[in-house]
Amino acid sequence: MKILLHTPHAEDAPEWIAALERALPAAHVRRWSPGDTAEADYAVLWRPPAELFVRRDNLRAMFVLGAGVDALLALERRAPGTLPSGVPLVRLEDAGMAEQMAEYAIYAALRYMRRFDEYELAQRENAGAAPWRPLEPHARDAFHIGVMGLGMLGAHVAKRLADLGLSVRGYSRSKKTIEGVTTFAGASALPTFLDGLKLVVNLLPSTPDTEGILNRDLFARLAQGAYLVNLARGTHLVEAHLIEALDTGRLAAATLDVFAQEPLPAAHPFWRMPRVTITPHISALTLREPAVRQIARKIEALARGETIGGIVDLDRGY
């Protein structure tokens, strides 16, 4: 069995190769390099170049080292036929990411509900000079949270927030049922879902239909002084509209883990906005060992002729 590996950082490759060969003792794993068109049975990929797919029609499956496959689908949109026809594209299903994402969302929700962000700002700006003044926290029963996207990650995040006794709504393309969460489905239900939300957590898949969905029209439907947490993709957010909403007070603050350009350029205004909290795309990191175990199980299942989960519908984009 021959496995082709692509990771953007060369220093990561030896550990991925070793982990895959431990999990699949019959496998020979090599890191792809430019000009490599040698035979492979499977590809394990993260943000590969289009060149990697030259002469790859004999692949049995392609595994993505993440839950999102937007980078690969963008290659196909720019140059149809880049991805080998008929080869299953398989995303990771959790592999330790869902709980990381829930921890991030819970932290952001409690930070804003209890107004810890305002205490942090006061400390930075006043350094003890301001009066010692407690702030009235947002009323729990009025702090309505909306989770946009109820796939594997979003459903887990919504459930974990609801388990804390918070008021949680969920929005998805198709109808979902989650204990403790009021769910909405389809574009026609989006306005009702958004109405009066105090905090929005975005976990939508990145598709042409969701690009720019976090915009001034969406912000206008939220409660005055609402909060935004974007954990999905930077392309979901119209950055200029967020800056406008923060400047006018339509939104009170935002926590952003993803950006249209990553790393975020040093000159970007978000760095200088005290009501914007930035993290470097770390809300749910791929954990090597759980990811490798999942990929190995799926390769073994495919070899037995079994059906596996996580196969991407290329038309839907997830």
| Catalytic machinery residues | 233, 281
Other C-beta atoms closer than 10 Å to the C-beta of 127 total: 8
Task: Answer yes or no: are the C-beta atoms of 157 and 109 closer than 8 Å.
Answer: no
Amino acid at 20: L
Burial call 78-117: b when 16+ CB within 10 Å, e when fewer: eeeebbbeebbbbbbbbbbbbebbbebbbebbebbbebeb
Q: What is the dihedral of CA 200, 137, 281, 100, to 10 degrees?
A: -90
DSSP state at residue 235: G
How is residue 179 written in tokens? 């204990």
Amino acid at 278: I
- Cα gap 34→250, rounded to integer Å: 49
